[in-house]
A and B are shown apart, each in its own frame.
Chain A
């Protein structure tokens, strides 16, 4: 079955440690996204990538880094520079339309990160 997988579902880390969240998709989508969700705040875009080896900062990129070496994979690293990393992280993918219009985004199940 096609879809997006994120692992792990729950992640605990000590303050000051970097942590990498995994996101893999087998939908053959070109575009991938990382969102952060906090209670009452909706989804906020961290980074997005429209093509392999290229990515752009979203609204809240500070303290995060990404890579896009393969079409299927878009890992997110939460660095120690991120002041308040405890949140629910969602990865999504989409296939860009030829008209340059945003298309349906498919979301993974999310990773809940807790920094102790």
Chain B
């Protein structure tokens, strides 16, 4: 089953913060986050593993709530370059197969 992402779309002004959520009805072992710009290939952001570990680099971070089977991506002090569609991909234990959500379109405006 496809994980559910929310919101479907969000518009931010430069410098504002955003949170994108990814929820699954299945038990998760890992959650991937990717960003895709229009017409381009998705680019890897980070992986989170079961255990609730929070990760981040620069001003983008993510968390994994094992009890809720949910991951959240946090973008702080957004920049124009953050615009794109963000996808979460989820996998169970021992599985290489990712199931992706439908994506969240993020638009950052000046």
**Interface residues, chain A, CB within 8 Å of chain B?**
31, 35, 40-45, 48, 50, 56, 58-59, 90, 94, 96, 100-110
- 10 nearest interchain CB pairs? A107-B41, A42-B102, A43-B100, A102-B91, A100-B94, A42-B100, A104-B44, A102-B96, A107-B42, A42-B103
Specify which of B2, B41, B95, B99 is in contact with A108 (CB 8 Å cutoff): B41
Kindly list chain B residues whose C-beta atoms are within 8 Å of the C-beta of A103: 47
**Interface band, chain B:** 20 to 34
- Kindly provide the distance from the CB of B27 to the nearest chain A CB, expressed in whole angstroms: 14
Specify which of A41, A43, A50, A102 is in contact with B42 (CB 8 Å cutoff): A43
Chain B 71-110 interface 0/1 with A at a Cβ cutoff of 8 Å (1 = within): 0000000000000000101010111111111110000000
B49 touching A101 by the CB < 8 A rule? Answer: yes
Specify which of A40, A42, A96 is in contact with B96 (CB 8 Å cutoff): A96
